[in-house]
Copies of this chain bind each other. A is one copy, B any other.
Amino acid sequence: MNETGFALDPRLAADTRPVASLPLCDVRLMNDARYPWLVLVPRRAGLVEIADLHEDERAVLWQEVNRAAAALRAVARCDKLNLGALGNIVRQLHVHVVARVEGDAAWPGPVWGNGQAAVRGDSQARLLIAALQRQLAAPGTPDA
């Protein structure tokens, strides 16, 4: 796959930590302790809309979203998964995968644009990222 010219948007880079590199997407953890929240970014230059991806890569994107969602649900409580592709502020194509819990900081509203992020300490972040990496590396669950 052609990653020529791809560079992660600086705002996404600042708001997240790296978790894993899947065939198409970088998986990153949002720096917000209020929610277990992943962001998937296809490593393709110039993408804004999902329709900008070739059809075969769109299929890969959704497989990787499902895979990230399964990993998130394996390591965090999740009463309802939230998926979103908005891009109203950061235009570089990215897909949000959020584990929502009844009564969480934004419940039942969306997480986007809701208040200030809560700091997640380094050790907490490292533990969560390691658990996610184990799930994403687990065989037999490529698309659970």
B-binding residues in A (CB < 8 A)? 48-51, 55, 58-59, 62, 66, 69-70, 80-89, 91, 100, 107-110, 112-113, 143-144
Contact = CB atoms under 8 A, between A and B. Distances in A.
A66 B89 CA distance: 22
Contact of A88 (B58, B87, B109): B109
A50 B144 CA distance: 11
**Number of identical protomers:** 2
B80 A51 contact: no
B108 A110 contact: no
Nearest to A83: B85
Contacts of A86: 80, 82-84, 110
A80 B56 CA distance: 22
